Structure 1
Amino acid sequence: MDYKTHLPKGPATRVKRAIRATYAGVLFEHLSAAFWPFFSVLVSLVGLALLGVHEVIPSGLRVFLFMGAAAFLVVTLGHGVWRFRWPAKGEAVARVDATLKGRPLQALSDTPLSGAADPASQAIWAAHLDRMAARAAAARAVAPPPDLPRHDPFGLRLMALTVLGMGLLFGSLDQAKTVAIGRGADQIAMGPVWEGWVKPPAFTGKPTLYLADLNDAFEAPKGSEVTVRLYGDGDSDALSLRETVSGSGESEATDFSVVQSGDIEIDGPTGRLWSVALVPDAPPVAELVDAMTRAASGETRQGFRLSDDFGVARAVMVFERDIDAVTRHYGFVVDPEPRADLAVEVTLPQTGDRTEIEGVFAENFSQHPFAGLPVMVSLRAYDQTGQVSEDAIGEGVLPSRRFFDPLAAALIDVRRELLWNRANASRAAQVLRAVSFQPEDLIDDDAITQRLRDVIAKLEGRGDPMSDALVDEIATDLWEIANLLEDGQLSEALERLRRAQERLQQAMRDGASDEEIARLMQELREATQDYIQQLAEQQGEDESEQPQGETQQMSADQLQQLMDRIQELMEQGRMAEAQQMMDMLNQLLENMRVTQDPNGQGGEGNPSMQGMQDMLREQQDLNDDTFSDLQEQQDQREQGEGQAQADQGENQEGQDGEGADQNGAQGQAQNEQGEDGAADMGDLSDRQRALRRELERQLGNVPSGENAEGIGEALEDAGRAMDDAEQALRENDLAGALDSQAEALEALREGMRQLGDQLAQGQPQEQEGQQGQAGGADGAEERRDPLGRTPGNTGRFGSDEEMAEGEDVYRRAEELLDEIRRRSAEQNRPEEERDYLNRLLDRF
């Protein structure tokens, strides 16, 4: 029997369509397996014809190649016909049936072997056929498997498709026609052949254009190379070329450059005329942004902006000595020696778009002869064709390193005068002898004294005139001696720090990877720590020197956070912001002075103050946890009451016994919640008791002094409040515990305030400005009172700030009061919370 007889019309139609589609796929599979060699050869020949390969083959050999290609096509076609076999229809049916569960198409074609006369067996067989028919109705077409790689293991068909693709992309149908027409006698009918290409300059980023595909009018960038090839088989008069775009008049050259607008014409039977409009290459534009500045390390900083229509190739910053602006006194009275201008290449981005560039030029010229003198700054940019921008002009004093040591500064002045004109050698020797008359008063290192005497000897024993090498040697010696005097033992650490900074800044400019940034930042951290340690040791030798004027303080943690922020910005690619923070870090390190508390107490370094701050923080955390538990307890109570009312409403009609059972279950649940709450209260009360014991220990650390009695009374009040809070917690009275904890917090803050006042009385007056930073800078920004004020050194919110500070203090206070009133009026809030808010309203 056929499966069609057991299927309704609709499912039978779907099954037929699925089998037909599958059969088509099986047929394609057989065809591709048999004829893929013929297909590959045919596609390859078409691709080669489109590319015009046959045109470069000599005429005598071309016929034999065409005959060989035709024979190859015939052989592969015959091989395909011999191998091809028509697929049987049953193959498609079996392939569709294999995708269905239980092979229903085969089952529908089966007949029972026995039981034909048995009604029960017939009913079972009919049910089986119905089930198979339902499964057969889900038949779908089956796609042919990708079996070609088994027949073509070397992928020859893919290479053939590649040749065809190249022919379609880069070839032409005109070239393919010449296969049939040839170049013989039929050439007269076809006409001469030509080809041409327009290749724009590489820096424009534009592709090469095929001349035959262009419109009669097109644009070309200046400098584009045009190549034209004429094919006439010896008939030189068949085609001719004329152009006026190369600037040499009418020319017949087949290779030329586009330097002006004009025409390109191919004259002949197949010729064409193009009108070419020149796309000019505008010169670049250079601009100096803001004035020249000095970085913390003495580095010269100059902002700049460059632009070009096709991209800037290079830029040069030139510093020219401005002699007219120099104050002509001392060694500068004589005319200066001629010196070449200082020209430095500006570092440009290695990748990305160069049409618009904005950056900062940064170089250290502290040792250059122009350092510290007025200069004229000019910036010029070049494009790929060599065009130069107009110079952007600026002026200023070329920055140099600052020297605060008087003798070091004097040596640098002598060096600058010697580099101005070597005729100042005699004056330089006299000045050096004068400033080093009693070296023991100015120089602690005998080696530095000896080096200074050697320099004086070189100046006094010089030849006449001094050689360039001797002038450079003396200038180098003076620079090194000045650095040793200025830095002392810091020279090595400072040099290491500057090298780390330079590497990191170079990484910013080059766009380094995250791994390299992390390595350079670690190197900077180590160099900074070494420098701070050396600076502390050097300043420890002279404790009498105190900073003058206003000072700012930064802890080691804050310095670390600043460097972490720099690394984070660099990893995010925000190099401009990272450079700004790097400049801030350099300024801090340049003006750094390591300070210590002379009394060893006060602020966060004092044990008593530190211990009370920790205790205050823990008491505040305990207060927050107690308030959270109070809210949780109130929420659970409201949920329990709501659930009880709902249960009672559902069981109100004649179910008194069941309602009693439910009430008993509710009571049991509340008892369980009460047990969990008691466990939480026990944990809170234990924490409160531990704080009470810590307070007793802190009472023994209170230093003696004028405020000792007041401090003791405040701490005793805090202890009594803690005892009351512990008792209330054990009795599960969270509201009462909150009140007692608030009293303990206020008493602790009062004790810390009095302790801070007592410690401040023993500190030098010049350190009073530091009190505002005690109490931990790390948490100051995180912990604020409702008015936004930070805690002072005593831990008491708002103790070190005026209530009336800030322009919007009244508006903020009014908003805060309105918010408290709004919350206190919300009836759905817990009663304990509303009582607390009402007490705040009564107080304020």
Structure 2
Amino acid sequence: MTTAPATQPSNVKNLLPLGSRLSRARRRARWVLLAENAWPALRLPVAMVGGYALAGLVRLPQSLPDSLHALLLAGVASSAIALAIRGLARLPRPTPLQIDQRIERASHLPFQPLLTLHDHPAEPGHDSVWKQHAARVAAQIGNLRTGWPHPRLKSKERIGWVVLGAVLLAAGAIAGSSAPSRLYAAFVPGTDDADVPLPQIQAWIDLPDYAPGAPVFLEGRHGNASIPQGARLTATITGVSSAPYLTGTDIGRPDAHALDRKSWTLHGILNGSGDLLVRARGRTVADWHLSVQPDLAPDVAWEGKPGQEKDGWRTTLPWKVAQAHGITELQAEIRLKKGNDPRVLRVPIPLNGRPHQAHGVATPDLSADSWAGEEVEATLFATSASGLHARSQASTFKLPERVFHDPIAKALVALRHRLGLGEENRLAASDDLRALTEALPSQETGAILTLDLAASMLTDPDVPDAKEQTLGLTWAVALYLEDIRREDRETALANLDIRAAQAAVQAQLDHMRQLGRAGHTTEEQEELARRMTTLREALSRRLQSLMQRAMMEGGAMPDMGQNGSDSDDALSRLMRRLQSDAANGHGEDAMRRLQELESMTERMRNATPEDLANIAKQLQAQAEAQAQRGALRDLVKNQTKLLDHVQSRLGAKQRILSENDQNADAAGGQDLANMPTSELLRRLGLKPPPGMEQTQQQEAPLPQDVTPSPLDPATQAAQDDQRRDDHATQRALHRVDRLLNDDVKTLTGKNLEGLTKADADMKKVRHALSHAQDIEAQAAEQQVLKDLAEAGQQMSQAQKGKSHGGGPIALLPTMGKGGHSQGAAKAGKNGGDQDDEGDEAQQDKKSDRDPLGRKLGKGNQDMDTDGQIPEANSRDRAREIERELRHRDSDRTRPQSELDYLDRLLKSY
């Protein structure tokens, strides 16, 4: 027989189960032989890597500078790779015979059965017999194995590998949990292992400009923080030789700057929520979970339908707006519903500061616009503190218009309406103005000249803004003619001056807002002050005219005060604040002050002598209310003095009793065994039950040698005299209380329940004083003071409900501030109830104090007594009394009520 080639013979292909198993076994055997043959070529590179790993476990490479560390790693790695490649390139490939022999040895197959499967008969004609023989051999083959690679090692080499493995295991055990990080740091230059201390870090977050606030400090290396979007992170890291970096959440523009060789600063803009990590040299230095609040556009909407103010010509703009970080600007954009006019009427809506959520109703006077009476479409436009914008849905309404009754004024308004809408050209409008000029009375020279000027401007092509100027002039003339029809010529001229001065102030404010920072110069501020002074003078002339007219008609005149200075009235304060806001660039606040000023001047222009009469009545009512509050304060003050007298008498008696008790105890005193139980309880500071005291008084009458009063005769006589004076004073105060209650009822129409209660309690005080019962008088006096405090609150509420300061008094802000016209300037806002509020504040402040101003306590805390701190003998005396009470409690012959009381009392000890 001859050996067959290494290819699978055709007679074996029919043996599918054995063929499949044999094919898989040969593939495994090939890899096992390759591994055994590769070991001689890889043992030196593996030894080099193992030695470097051992050096890493003892932290030798990490101790080198990063450059030397990288150079050492590169040298070891390149040498090991080069040796491995050169050795593997020389490896012989396993032959099929070697593969089959490996399988036969590993599977323990006798007589080389795999070789039999490759053989064939030497002589032809014996194929059938050979097939049977091969089939019988194949059937005898069981599981085919290849075994594990077994490198052929010499004894010295085997000892060396065992020693290297043992040293690696020992070094890993010594490193403990730090072993993985040491190996990682050894094979990755520029990283630190777990044994290197983490660098120090200080981090904080500066809030963005639109959300002012203190910086948020990130304490420690872990934590949580909630911040607005766009906040800027700053982190300072000390003790790390390479640059750290930020990772994790959405960070905008991250950067790192070196402060010195081992100090770094990191910056980044935080835009999204998530975990923020600071990593340096392969380790996490700190991680924080940040909740970033997104900066959303404002939520702005109409809170109702815009339209016309009830019983007026102002426009109502109900609005609401919200934004997490505040709204800085809100305005209404009004466009003409029909027509080709591209103009946008922008109406600023003043806000109180930068509200996060606010709503209200703006009432600007837009009747002077040429669109008045037309259908318009309004949209709210809001700007947040972060610069985001939002618009509301459009709302359609009719722009309110002022109603005129003078025929020429009505014609002028209709003409300017057509001119503003473009329904009439400038030439035709000029002719109409000249025609209306001829209809004016000859004595109205100013109005005639104004309309002639407007007509001339419309026909002059060199005047670029002739249309706008004509609209303004015709509106002023129309208002002037309407005032003449309603009042008189002098009033119309005063109102004209007020409107002109008011328009000049508004124009200056708009000019300063347009200039921005350049509008805060001294020249601009002086110009604003000059125009505001002109407005103030115009208002003063209007007030003087109104006062003269009221005097001619014989109407009631309000008290103008004794002080001629008007530096503290409401108008002056408003103007000063407006000027200050404009000078400091607070445009929104200045616009709000300007609207308040417009409302104030509007009331001044429409004031009548009847309003002055109403103001006089209101000022008189305020004076009466103030006098009543002063009377109540005097009543409380005198009642407090009576309470002081009672407490001083009780304190003197208590001190003498205490001294007598101490003297008696020092001399042996009365025997405790013979002392009544009620007296023992008093010695302990306890009040005995009423039944026990009456029973013991009947059983043990008062000894004859005990005097009813511990005071000496001179002191007793002085107290009796004081008690009689207090009784007389209390009688007078009782009368005052009744008269005050009647006055309040006359003014407000209702009785004060507090004064009614004080009337009844004062009777108790008088009864107690007449019977020399100071303890009862003290309790009654305290109750009277509580009643008077309640009466003060009721008086304030009643006078506020009567509204003595609202209404017409707010029409004249320049009323005097001194003398008898208290707070006429303040009444425009608070209704003249400042004194009421002051009284309530004083009552609240004194609610936890007694009439002498001493702080009251609850229970036994903060008690105001004249007692002294007990000394050792007093404590011993108290313990002796307690022992006597226990002794009596054990005596079952005593009355059952007394025994029950003692049982309940002694259970707490």
TM-score (norm 1): 0.38
TM-score, normalised relative to structure 2: 0.36
Larger radius of gyration: 2
